[in-house]
Amino acid sequence: VIGIDLGLKVPAVAVTSEGKTRFFGNGRENKYMKRKFRSERKGLGKKKKLRAIRKLDHKEQRWMKDKDHKVSRQIVNFAIKNQVSIIHLEKLTNIRKTTRTSRKNEKNVHTWSFYRLAQFIEYKAKMAGIKVEYVNPAYTSQKCPSCSTLNKAIDRKYSCPCGFHTHRDKVGAMNIIHAPVIGGHSQSA
User: What is the CA angle 113-23-79, rounded to 5?
Assistant: 90
Q: How far is the CB of 158 from Zn ion (least distance, A)?
A: 10
187: left (phi over 0), alpha (psi -120 to 50) or beta: alpha
Dihedral over alpha carbons 55, 57, 60, 66 (to 10 degrees): -80
Which residue in the set 71, 121, 125, 144 belongs to the binding site for Zn ion (CB under 5 A)? 144
Whose Cβ is closer to Zn ion: residue 72's or residue 166's? Answer: 166
| Shortest spacing between CB 90 and Zn ion, in angstroms | 21
Q: Does 147 engage in binding with Zn ion (CB under 5 A)?
A: yes
Q: What is d(CA 177, CA 142) in angstroms, rounded to the nearest whole number?
A: 14
Closest approach of Cβ 138 to Zn ion, in Å? 17
Binding of Zn ion by 142 (CB under 5 A) = no
Q: Does 165 bind Zn ion (CB under 5 A)?
A: no
Size of the site for Zn ion (CB under 5 A): 7
108: left (phi over 0), alpha (psi -120 to 50) or beta: alpha
Q: Which residues of the chain form contacts with Zn ion (CB under 5 A)?
A: 144, 146-147, 149, 160, 162, 164
